[in-house]
Structure 1
Amino acid sequence: MEIFLGGNCKNVDTFVESTKLALEKLTDRDFIQMYSSGNWRELITVSWLCGIRGIRDYINLIEKSLIPSRTCYSGQFHCFALARIGNAKSVRILRSYLDLYLPVGNNFYDQLWAIGALQWLDTKHGTDHSKTYLENSALWKGNYRGSKEVTLLNPDLGIIHFKKVIKFVDFYFPDYANNYRSIL
């Protein structure tokens, strides 16, 4: 199976087994400590685990970590966790993030992950929250590092990539596949 990070990964079995072990062993206290650390590696890990399990208990901590977008890469996994939690609050948080960081301007953060997560939730629940962001291409224009050149992010690529992540999780973590089937 193609790994969502690109290409085939030789260590995917080790990664999956390590993730499963963490899902079994980590406690609520561990999760809270990881969210409170502010360390991007711990934030990635804890949101990855919350997303796989669809744990709703930490949605406020996810929001607190996502919206200010202070740490690199962790926003991607916060968006993943919100999609897997899949409730109305998840949608509100993803929309708040997109409202804050679109148009892109100089802020190339996790907009593609947020739109991927929001559109995935729309597909899952028959809603159209992502439509507003997808219909206006001007929202996706940016100036990387203040350059005068305009760069256009492609939200369709974010949506495609996000579906790969979900496919990966559903394939390798089938015991948790039904955790995100909540109703908005």
Structure 2
Amino acid sequence: MDLGGLRGYTATFLRGRFGSSEYRYQHQLIRRYVGHGGRYLHLRGGVLFWPRPRQKLFQYRLRWSARRASTHDLMTLLDTGGWREQLAASWLIAVGRRADLRDRIAQDLRSDAPSGYGWDYCTALARLGTDQDAELLRRYLDQALLLPRPLDDDDDWHCQRQAMGALLYLDGVLGTSYAQPLLTAGGLWRQWSGEEGADSLEEERALIAQLVAFAAGERPLIKT
């Protein structure tokens, strides 16, 4: 049991019920978008393997929530700093193609202490799907690939592999080559990863493609 998360959620609940109007507003948002049985946790990948009728129902609910969420709602979820809130907000940005939140994503990715769990941002940027989003990912990677490679592959602060997968996906969609300089001999990706080439990133690129398809309401093609 995640006691830290439980204490945090309980504290948020109590503040929401008895605190200021701002705390009540935050609590309502968390209950609306995060607290319904942890449904957004399925977006870590489990939804990709669901039967298609169940996927369609989940996608319908996502679209409804994305239309309902205001810019202020999404900014508030991101400001809470919790990974569940960021997961929900990032997916609502992706589903609604909320380009108005692009600058906020860029700000978080450039932060000295990144917001963490940035792979959800990679999905959102890939779903937005423009040259501007590819350039944002490239700028992030130009900085993040200068950092030491974490000892733990599940490092929460950075998302270099996922960002490379998203960038390769966008290159394929846009017909661009933003990722290519990073992949050349002596390029930043080669240095950071220990000389891994583009082939090593196919799993990340394919996963991003599946998540973008799901966010668009389509059926993700899963190889089993």
Q: TM-score, normalised by structure 1?
A: 0.72
SS in 2 for 1:57: helix
SS in 2 for 1:123: helix
Q: Is the 8 A contact 1:120 1:159 kept in 2?
A: yes
Q: Is the 8 A contact 1:4 1:165 kept in 2?
A: no
Q: Is the 8 A contact 1:104 1:140 kept in 2?
A: no
Q: CA deviation at 1:56?
A: 0.9
SS in 2 for 1:58: helix
The residue number in structure 2 matching 1:25 is 68
More helix by share: 2
1:114 is the counterpart of 2:163: yes
Q: CA deviation at 1:71?
A: 4.0
The residue number in structure 1 matching 2:99 is 56
Q: Is the 8 A contact 2:59 2:215 kept in 1?
A: no
Q: TM-score, normalised by structure 2?
A: 0.60
> Any stretches of 5+ residues in structure 1 without a counterpart?
143-152, 174-184
Counterpart amino acid of residue 22 in structure 1: S
Structure 2 CA distance for aligned equivalents of residues 78 and 129 of structure 1: 18
Q: Over residues 67-90 of structure 1, what are the superposed CA-to-partner deviations in whole Å (9 max), with x where a residue is unaligned?
A: 3363442x1111111122233332
The residue number in structure 1 matching 2:179 is 130
SS in 2 for 1:154: helix
Aligned pairs for 1:160-171 (under 5 A) are: 160-171=206-217
Q: Is the 8 A contact 2:130 2:174 kept in 1?
A: no
1:70 to 105, 114, 120: 114
SS in 1 for 2:45: coil
Counterpart amino acid of residue 140 in structure 1: S
Aligned pairs for 1:32-43 (under 5 A) are: 32-43=75-86
What count of residue pairs does the alignment treat as equivalent? Answer: 160
Could you tell which deviates more after superposition, 113-122 or 162-171? 162-171
Q: CA deviation at 1:13?
A: 5.0
Q: Is the 8 A contact 1:34 1:42 kept in 2?
A: yes
Structure 2 CA distance for aligned equivalents of residues 130 and 103 of structure 1: 15
RMSD of aligned alpha carbons = 2.9
1:155 to 178, 186, 201: 201
Aligned pairs for 1:76-115 (under 5 A) are: 76-102=119-145, 105-107=148-150, 108=155, 109-115=158-164
Larger radius of gyration: 2
Q: Is the 8 A contact 1:4 1:161 kept in 2?
A: no
Q: Which has the higher contact order (CA 8 A, sep 6+)?
A: 1
Structure 1 CA distance for aligned equivalents of residues 178 and 170 of structure 2: 9
> Any stretches of 5+ residues in structure 2 without a counterpart?
1-42, 220-224
Q: CA deviation at 1:104?
A: 6.3
